[in-house]
Amino acid sequence: MKTHFHRKDDSQIYAEDVPLSVLAKEFGTPSYIYCLSTIKAQYETLSSTFAEILPKDRQPLLCYACKANSNKAILSALRSWGAGLEIVSGNELVRGVNAGFDPDRIVFTGVGKTDGEIEAALKSGIHQINVESIFEISQINEVAKKLGMVAKVVFRLNPDVSGGGHSKISTGRKRDKFGLSANRVVQAYDIADTLDHIDAVGLSMHIGSQVFEVSAFERAFRKLPELVQTLRGKGHNVSRLDIGGGFPIQYSDESLLDLKAYAEWVRDIIVPLETEIIMEPGRFLVGNAGGLLTRVISVKETDEIDFLITDGAMNDLIRPTLYDAFHGIEAVKHGEPSKTYSVTGPVCESGDMFGHDRKLPDMVAGDLCLIKSAGAYGFCMASNYNSRVLPAEILVYGDKYQLIRPRQTLEDILNAEKVPEWVENL
């Protein structure tokens, strides 16, 4: 998989044309570093594969799932290359609109939307709302009625297909909280027909993230034709199919998604249904583009294990702790991997661990360490646990680089907290 983090000969790691040591010196650590050229290459790979395999009039609207990485700079770049947007909250809608996305290229998914979020989405002129429950149909109808509008919705099918690199990011199984069974989708359409402020226009589906068992996509797609036929047989309009995201990336040596095979399933199963096609890729576009740059605080030798304690921690990148996710770890300096370390942070949890048994050069305090493939579900899941500040984010493009989010300060955290007078005077 393409990434623009690379080592120049016997030298240190670069992000595109910029040495990581330069970024660490200028912006400090821990910091997220993103290579914009990787994001661009990933976007082009997706769009060119579909351009090659799908008919011209069935090109998908690629709605970037901005939950993966919602920094405004990254949203702006993807928008400028032609992406639409998938959002899961009213705040993501504001981010998207601020980044210049046309609301008619934004889809709103998620299992629970507040009336306020629905209202904002409808007022913006959003492309569609992806409905996840029977309750939501009347909820959206009521909001649309108040606004004197008609809401375009699609119903999210739960195809009962297991997909997703970890149980916590599988979303298409019967017992997952997402979507509606096929029977309930039919029921939802019937209900929608009775409501004046709902225009049901299609279906959506998203079986999970990091779906490395790629045949799961095909199995899920194959659930659609019969359902579409049933719905059309009842006179319902199915003119959009949103087939979600979930494209896997390489964290270690996983086999890559055969994008051509994926596109061929879309061509063979989805295209004949003659609908608009929408996809919601997130991780695929940004995952390998990012790394968490950390500095070694200390090396702690124990009887069993040598711990490399960095200034990055689970609050900065939760994926290893939350999903047992693997992230490659490299010393920024060049050197033979002569030592084995467990790479961790200072947070007071044994689960604060970036990786066990990693082969690295002999490391000392002050050395830089790159936690790789951290561009998706990295910064956006960071927290202030242990009163640690959110890391900085830096975007690199060729030899250009810029801070796209400064490191949070302790003042930012403390100023937001208030002690009631009746506590001060206890």
Ligand X SMILES: Cc1ncc(COP(=O)(O)O)c(C=O)c1O
Q: Which residues of 308-331 are buried (b: 16+ CB within 10 A; e: fewer)?
A: bbbbbbbbbbbbbbebebbbbbbb
> In this structure, are residues 384 and 409 in contact, taking their beta carbons and an 8 Å threshold?
no
Half-sphere exposure (CA, 13 Å, Cβ side) for 194?
6
Of 35, 66, 348, 380, the active-site residue reads 348
Closer CB to ligand X, 286 or 371, in the complex: 286
For 266, list phi and psi in degrees, rounded to 5.
-60, -45
CA separation (Å) from 401 to 11, 26, 172, 413?
Answer: 20, 11, 39, 27
Closer CB to ligand X, 119 or 280, in the complex: 280
Closer CB to ligand X, 197 or 240, in the complex: 240
Using rule CB under 6 A, residue 209 touches ligand X = yes
Token digits of residue 85: 């947007």
CA angle 89, 411, 33 (to 5 degrees): 60
Q: Mark out the alpha helices in 148-270 (DSSP H runs).
A: 182-193, 215-221, 224-233, 259-265
Choose the stretch contacting ligand X; rule: CB under 6 A; options: 205-213, 296-304, 310-318, 320-328. 205-213
Which of 31, 109, 141, 158 contacts ligand X by CB under 6 A?
109
Total number of residues that touch ligand X (CB under 6 A): 17
Minimum Å gap between C-beta 210 and ligand X is: 6
Longest dimension (CA), the chain: 72
Choose the stretch contacting ligand X; rule: CB under 6 A; options: 119-127, 233-241, 279-287, 290-298. 279-287
> In this structure, are residues 340 and 374 in contact, taking their beta carbons and an 8 Å threshold?
no
Instruction: Decide if 66 is catalytic.
Output: no
Using rule CB under 6 A, residue 281 touches ligand X = yes
Interface mask (CB under 6 A) for ligand X, residues 317-336, using x and -? Answer: --------------------
Computed on alpha carbons and rounded to an integer, the radius of gyration of the chain in Å comes to 23
> In this structure, are residues 68 and 285 in contact, taking their beta carbons and an 8 Å threshold?
yes
Cβ partners under 8 Å of residue 297, min gap 6 = 309, 310, 311, 346, 365
Minimum Å gap between C-beta 209 and ligand X is: 3
Cα–Cα dist 415/412, whole Å = 6
Using rule CB under 6 A, residue 244 touches ligand X = yes
Using rule CB under 6 A, residue 250 touches ligand X = no
Which of 30, 159, 163, 245 contacts ligand X by CB under 6 A?
245
Choose the stretch contacting ligand X; rule: CB under 6 A; options: 36-44, 89-97, 117-125, 206-214. 206-214
Choose the stretch contacting ligand X; rule: CB under 6 A; options: 18-26, 181-189, 239-247, 401-409. 239-247
Closer CB to ligand X, 8 or 168, in the complex: 168
Minimum Å gap between C-beta 259 and ligand X is: 13
Minimum Å gap between C-beta 325 and ligand X is: 13
Using rule CB under 6 A, residue 282 touches ligand X = yes
Q: Would the CA dihedral through 55, 61, 66, 72 be positive or negative?
A: positive
> In this structure, are residues 368 and 335 in contact, taking their beta carbons and an 8 Å threshold?
no
Using rule CB under 6 A, residue 43 touches ligand X = no
- Strand spans (E) along 143-267: 151-156, 198-204, 240-242
Minimum Å gap between C-beta 92 and ligand X is: 12
Q: Would the CA dihedral through 22, 27, 29, 33 be positive or negative?
A: negative
Interface mask (CB under 6 A) for ligand X, residues 133-172, using x and -? Answer: --------------------------------------x-
Using rule CB under 6 A, residue 65 touches ligand X = yes
Using rule CB under 6 A, residue 388 touches ligand X = no
Using rule CB under 6 A, residue 42 touches ligand X = no
Minimum Å gap between C-beta 164 and ligand X is: 8
CA separation (Å) from 377 to 6, 81, 367?
Answer: 22, 22, 25
Interface mask (CB under 6 A) for ligand X, residues 71-100, using x and -? Answer: ---------------x--------------
Which residues make up the interface to ligand X (CB under 6 A)? Answer: 65, 68, 86, 109, 171, 206, 209-210, 244-247, 280-284
Active site positions, annotated: 348
